[in-house]
Structure formats: C-alpha cells, structure tokens
Amino acid sequence: MTEAAIFLIFPLCLAIAALSDILTMTIPNRVSLILAAAFVPIAFMAGLPPAAICMHLVAGAAVFAACFALFALNVMGGGDAKLLTAAALWFGYDPSLAAFVVYVGIIGGAVTLVILGIRMYSDVILATGLPVPHSILTAKKVPYGIAIAIGGFLAFPQSPLFLAALEAVKS
C-alpha cells in the first residue's frame, strides 16, 4: 500500500499541476497541499528514520525560503513556489534534490524558449490548425509548472522515497 502511494501521489500531483498550468496558467493550491501533506505519513510508513524525515522538512524549508525570495522579487509565481517547495519535501537533502533543481532549471529554460516561440509565431501555428491553449498565447507569464513536473519525473527515481519503495517491492 505504501509503495503504491509513493509511486502514485508524487507523479499524479505533478501531472495535474502541469496540465492545469498549461491550460489555465494556475496551479491549484490543493495539489501542492496534497503533495506536502502526504509526505510525512508516507515517509513514516516507508520506514524513513525520523532524522531523515526532519532533513526532508529542512530541505523543503530551504527551498521555500529561496522560492519566497524569488516570489517577492516577482521572478516566480506563487503556485510555482508552492509546488517546488512541496516537491522538494519528497527529495530531502539528498543529491536527488540537486538533480531536481538542475532539471527544473534546464527544462524551464527550454519551456520558456518554446512558449516565446509559440507566441512569436502564433499566427503561423494557428493557421496550421494546431490546437494551442488560449492562455499560452495571451498570458504574460510562462507555465513553469511544466518544468517542475518534468524535472520531478526525471529526478524522482533517485529520491530516497522512491528507492525505499523500490526496495520494498523487490523483497
């Protein structure tokens, strides 16, 4: 049961956040809340020691502080900051957190370039009949939830919770 929750909750929340961000340019608070609230009970059920769980919480707080500063500087949206913080809980202070942040940065740059290209050539793209969400064409911001989700998908197999669940499934 715990393994199923680990393999399901994190990716599902990220997928919902990305899809919502693409279509509406918002990430629902309940997605980040579910991701954050599910972490502690799942971590205990997965057998992570209390000290490790505390380090995951510290990592989440550190990411929150960085995201809050970026939000205050109007560099990052509030939904992105909450999603990134909630996702960071699942990585903890582990090399997988660094991988997650690097993936999000690289993919975020690529997503930004693609969105800017779509906006620049929107007449040509729409003339081809390709369906493009209206929010992608008109919003002044970039749906960074896409990068957070893809970065999470790429880094998650290295995370302590994923590895614990994988070990439990094997035995």
From first CA to last CA, the distance across the chain in angstroms is 14
Predicted model pTM: 0.92
* pLDDT at residue 123 greater than cutoff 90: no
Predicted confidence at residue 9, as pLDDT, reads 96
Predicted confidence at residue 26, as pLDDT, reads 94
DSSP-assigned letter for residue 5: H
Output the DSSP codes for 39-94. HHHHHHHTT--HHHHHHHHHHHHHHHHHHHHHHHTTSS-HHHHHHHHHHHHTT-SS
* pLDDT at residue 171 greater than cutoff 80: no
